Amino acid sequence: MKVLVSGGAGFIGSHIVDSLITDGHTVHIIDDLSGGFMRNLNPKATFHKEDIRSEEISEIWKEHRFEVLIHCGAQMDVRRSVADPSFDADVNVIGFLNLMEAGRHYGLKKVVFSSTGGAIYGEPEYVPQDEKHPTRPMSPYGITKLTAEHYLAFYKDTHGIDSVILRYANVYGPRQNAHGEAGVVAIFTERMLANTPCFINGDGGQTRDYVYVGDVVQANMKALDYKGSNIFNVGTGIETSVLDLFLKIKKVMGSDMSQKHADAKPGEQQRSVVGTEKIENELGWERQFDLDTGLTKTVNWFKDQEIQER
Residues belonging to the active site: 141
What is the spatial distance between Cα 224 and Cα 309, in angstroms, rounded to a whole number? 36
Choose among 49, 1, 48, 42: nearest CA to 18. Answer: 42
What is the spatial distance between Cα 180 and Cα 140, in angstroms, rounded to a whole number? 17
Geometric angle at alpha carbon 244, from 72 and 74, rounded to 5°:
10
Geometric angle at alpha carbon 140, from 231 and 31, rounded to 5°:
70
3-class SS at 229?
coil
3-class SS at 45?
coil
Report how far Cα 72 is from the mean position of its chain's Cα atoms.
Answer: 7
Q: With contact defined as beta carbons under 8 Å apart, do 103 and 62 qualify?
A: no
Choose among 226, 229, 207: nearest CA to 218. Answer: 226
Strand segments, DSSP code E, in the chain are 2-6, 26-30, 46-48, 68-71, 110-116, 162-168, 170-172, 199-201, 207-208, 210-212, 230-234, 240-241, 260-262
